[in-house]
Structure 1
């Protein structure tokens, strides 16, 4: 374990003083770019459609390729970082992200743009788990780590919510490719800064990297998400929809069985036996499903129903950003006061209330209603994500930080991809019936069928028809979209309330005494003193003062042994 001990000592040196906060700034800048790229294209979809003329399926892939590829590769690159170094994987991800951004900005066909978005997903898969696993190592103190995670999740929310604002400004003043071009100078700056400032870290020396297992996980996640997408568009019984879903599910089952048998697994499956860890992962999926799916639909509503410009659309979404920032800034205090269960559960309830409030939206602009709804939505979802991420990361052993971060980020991206697929499918299913009787009023059947694909396509068909028939088709499409939006919001609210029920399995309190010293991880010398000659088992460890800090009344407060990160025990495993 010499390599692990050396890495740990370097990390502890980096964590002293203000250095760890500088590291946090660099990690947050990395995450900001990745999160920004996940949503910056949303307001540019109409411009991309007009310029490249992609098919309906092609347009979905332009939007979905990034989150789907990123989600499928997070486990691969997260566990690879545990083996070869998280900073090394992170820096390589920076370089690939910059190259893919240049390719996307200059794309002249839907195929090239889809390929570039897929490469961006590969770069994002290298960056996202590395930022979270380095954060886990640099902040061993749980209270400080909670604050750092609050900043980290707030930056993720800011990036996702600021994407439409940045994209709207660029599309309005330049061309749609500029939404990708902004990544290049930022990556050119952050690559040398990251190489200079970020500490290198690895997990314990866990033997050879399971390449086959990593590929099985990647193919399994991709198959499951593809199956969900196709079921939404083609129906549950369609063989083309069932095939990838079944193949993906089988691969994931085989991956889990393989990890259980291996001496040095990629993912410690035992982590899922902890209710808090499993529940936190599920809550992340549900929260992101609601956020990204609703945001994409909201962007279409603001632009196509209310006829706002891309920049105005982005500005309308700013309240969501500010609310998310406020929730992230106060998240550490809230978590310590109310505990993970209440923070995550009530975050879901608040988000569901916001979604139900937004069902009052109609064909006319109601800015106050939208602002209140977006504020509640941003604050509720960010509170949920903060509590879930902190619980998940604190439950994982420190030497498995890369694998745990990969699981969390896979959940994040999987939820985002499923949100677009699931809520988009619900939206399409509720939107299409609005055109069933238009032929009775003189609208050509072919025109009605084409308009039922999407609201944007309906407007194009209406413009070609012109006259009273065109106006009739346009009004029917707008009304059908609003009706579909209401159905989608109700479905989303139901899923969010299920998340609130699931949050009841989280710990009631943050497992950390209020005294700050009690939350400090023991120094490497403590286990050596408590594990000397004549000591055996875990009972003598509980009597060591650093592990049993006094509470406010001077009584000793035992500290759960499972909270000790593996690197401080000197044996590479947490004390049991």
Structure 2
């Protein structure tokens, strides 16, 4: 019994920096913009690339876990994660940071399915497994939620690279504990990896996201966007076709035909879209519009962080007592209510209302994450634990990447359409100021004082209106998805 819970402690310890790194840079947007002289588009890719690459790599890494056992996978992933953290901490350009964040994602993609497979293998009893998964989900959602606060604390005292350096001692400790206390598992030597197919999947995801971003921004010729979209779609279809045709696929795509697993993946994607996208929006608004420091912005978002951290174990008990359907649908429905309420909230004059609604969002979204994890891991055969863990992890990271992309695109599109700039700006300057709040504030710093005040006022007004549009849109989508999940899980017991 002691060995089981010690394994869980090790798993949770290594999962903390993986989860935090998905959002730790949210409050660093203004700092990175100044330190690395990055554009708004480069900033989105710096933040987004981690989740998008991880979403593609968890599939082959899940297969690697089946092949060599989760202990070896955990050690390999931890080592790579530590090395990539060192490289990212000393980046001197946006391209360097994007590249090292990609490498960081590969290490994280090894760690996540290893942790889920470890839980599935270690805890055979359903009630204990639900409790363990509740703790794991709390670390995932809570770590992502606490990322801005951690980043704000470090930026208040150290240079921005410190957000990566803190990973190194954690990784070294986890590797020592894993080597000493975690038992080795027998792998499946016949499990193929198909790394070229995995790279094709990553390219497909990146092309699809790039085409979506470019289409909404309207700055790229339509034929290029269409060609990129078709190429990405073709690569994705080819990946699925190859997996279905293979005798021993990299991942069993037929798992997606299981209604519970498919519903769980959809819930995980949705929950992470809401949490990560909201935090990115909030971190920028609090700093750009209301003048918060990175640390103060993290503190303001503390309700969503605390609620996310505490909800996992509670939701695990609720799943056991009330059933998956009620917890899953309730979590998504309450997330929708919180978004609609936040869309009508003024963060400067209604801080208590904002705090209560953020707490509701954190609890409900994290509950949906736990429900998705329980659904996927309980429905999957034990021998496919790592593959099922890869599906869950892919859903988490794809949701995080899409949250950044979707919220960022809605925000930038609405911002560009609503900003009313003062007269006297050249067409080039007006286009720059309309592209993002960061660009508007950068232009204001380079302009005469009278003109700068007008640019800043216009940017703040446009941002506040854009945040309402983004949150209202997310709330309505969540209501629709909650209804779909309710009917999808109608015949599921427990």
What is the TM-score with the length of structure 2 in the denominator? Answer: 0.95
Post-superposition offset of 1:457: 1.9
- RMSD between aligned alpha carbons? 2.0
Q: How far apart in 2 are the matches of 1:31 and 1:500?
A: 28
Other-structure match for 1:316: 300
The one of 65, 80, 90 aligned to 1:81: 65
Post-superposition offset of 1:107: 1.2
Do the aligned partners of 2:325 and 2:490 also contact (CA within 8 Å) in 1?
Answer: yes
The one of 238, 242, 266 aligned to 1:282: 266
Counting matched residue pairs gives 494
Q: How far apart in 1 are the matches of 2:387 and 2:210?
A: 23
The one of 445, 452, 458 aligned to 1:476: 458
Other-structure match for 2:429: 447
Q: Is residue 456 from structure 1 mapped to residue 438 from structure 2 by the alignment?
A: yes
Q: Is residue 491 from structure 1 mapped to residue 473 from structure 2 by the alignment?
A: yes
Other-structure match for 2:170: 186
Q: Is residue 123 from structure 1 mapped to residue 134 from structure 2 by the alignment?
A: no
Q: How far apart in 1 are the matches of 2:403 and 2:191?
A: 37
Between 240-249 and 280-289, report the one with greater CA deviation: 240-249
Post-superposition offset of 1:50: 0.7
Other-structure match for 1:438: 421
Mark the CA change 1:363 to 1:21 in structure 2 (over 3 Å): closer, same or farther.
closer
Q: Which has the higher contact order (CA 8 A, sep 6+)?
A: 2
Q: How far apart in 2 are the matches of 1:208 and 1:500?
A: 37
Post-superposition offset of 1:257: 2.1
Q: How far apart in 2 are the matches of 1:363 and 1:449?
A: 28
Q: How far apart in 1 are the matches of 2:299 and 2:34?
A: 23
Q: How far apart in 2 are the matches of 1:505 and 1:420?
A: 28
Mark the CA change 1:213 to 1:446 in structure 2 (over 3 Å): closer, same or farther.
closer
Q: From the CA coordinates, give the structure whose radius of gyration is larger.
A: 1
The one of 395, 411, 421 aligned to 1:411: 395
What is the TM-score with the length of structure 1 in the denominator? Answer: 0.82
Q: How far apart in 1 are the matches of 2:266 and 2:442?
A: 40
Listed as ranges, the gaps of 5+ residues in structure 2 are none
Do the aligned partners of 1:224 and 1:248 also contact (CA within 8 Å) in 2?
Answer: yes
**What do the CA deviations read for 1:124-145 (whole angstroms, capped 9, x no partner)?**
1111111111111111211111
Mark the CA change 1:126 to 1:239 in structure 2 (over 3 Å): closer, same or farther.
farther
The one of 233, 253, 258 aligned to 2:237: 253
Mark the CA change 1:252 to 1:438 in structure 2 (over 3 Å): closer, same or farther.
closer
Q: How far apart in 2 are the matches of 1:397 and 1:226?
A: 36
Q: How far apart in 2 are the matches of 1:114 and 1:509?
A: 44
Between 235-244 and 69-78, report the one with greater CA deviation: 235-244
Q: Is residue 376 from structure 1 mapped to residue 376 from structure 2 by the alignment?
A: no
Between 92-101 and 81-90, report the one with greater CA deviation: 81-90
Other-structure match for 1:562: none
Post-superposition offset of 1:221: 3.2
Q: Is residue 158 from structure 1 mapped to residue 142 from structure 2 by the alignment?
A: yes
**What do the CA deviations read for 1:447-494 (whole angstroms, capped 9, x no partner)?**
322211111221222232233322122111100001111110111112
Q: How far apart in 1 are the matches of 2:376 and 2:352?
A: 36
Post-superposition offset of 1:27: 0.6
**1:152-301 maps to which residues of 2 (within 5 A)?**
152-202=136-186, 204=188, 206-234=190-218, 238-301=222-285
Post-superposition offset of 1:187: 1.2
Q: Is residue 502 from structure 1 mapped to residue 484 from structure 2 by the alignment?
A: yes
Post-superposition offset of 1:505: 4.0
Listed as ranges, the gaps of 5+ residues in structure 1 are 1-16, 513-576
**What do the CA deviations read for 1:366-397 (whole angstroms, capped 9, x no partner)?**
21022111101101101111111100111111
Q: Which has the higher helix share?
A: 2
Post-superposition offset of 1:228: 2.9
Post-superposition offset of 1:212: 4.3
Q: How far apart in 2 are the matches of 1:174 and 1:208?
A: 44
Other-structure match for 2:84: 100
Q: How far apart in 2 are the matches of 1:485 and 1:165?
A: 21
Q: How far apart in 2 are the matches of 1:131 and 1:483?
A: 41
Mark the CA change 1:452 to 1:389 in structure 2 (over 3 Å): closer, same or farther.
same
Q: How far apart in 1 are the matches of 2:330 and 2:34?
A: 42
**1:301-450 maps to which residues of 2 (within 5 A)?**
301-362=285-346, 364-435=348-419, 438=421, 441-450=423-432
Between 356-365 and 482-491, report the one with greater CA deviation: 356-365
Q: How far apart in 2 are the matches of 1:204 and 1:475?
A: 61
**What do the CA deviations read for 1:158-181 (whole angstroms, capped 9, x no partner)?**
211111111111111111111111
Other-structure match for 1:134: 118
Post-superposition offset of 1:498: 2.2
SS at match of 1:39: coil
Q: How far apart in 2 are the matches of 1:271 and 1:150?
A: 22
**What do the CA deviations read for 1:198-237 (whole angstroms, capped 9, x no partner)?**
2333555545444444444343334333333333334797
**What do the CA deviations read for 1:336-363 (whole angstroms, capped 9, x no partner)?**
2221111111111111111111112337
Other-structure match for 1:64: 48
Q: How far apart in 1 are the matches of 2:90 and 2:349?
A: 36
SS at match of 1:393: helix
Between 322-331 and 219-228, report the one with greater CA deviation: 219-228
**What do the CA deviations read for 1:269-311 (whole angstroms, capped 9, x no partner)?**
3222221111111111111111111110011111111111111
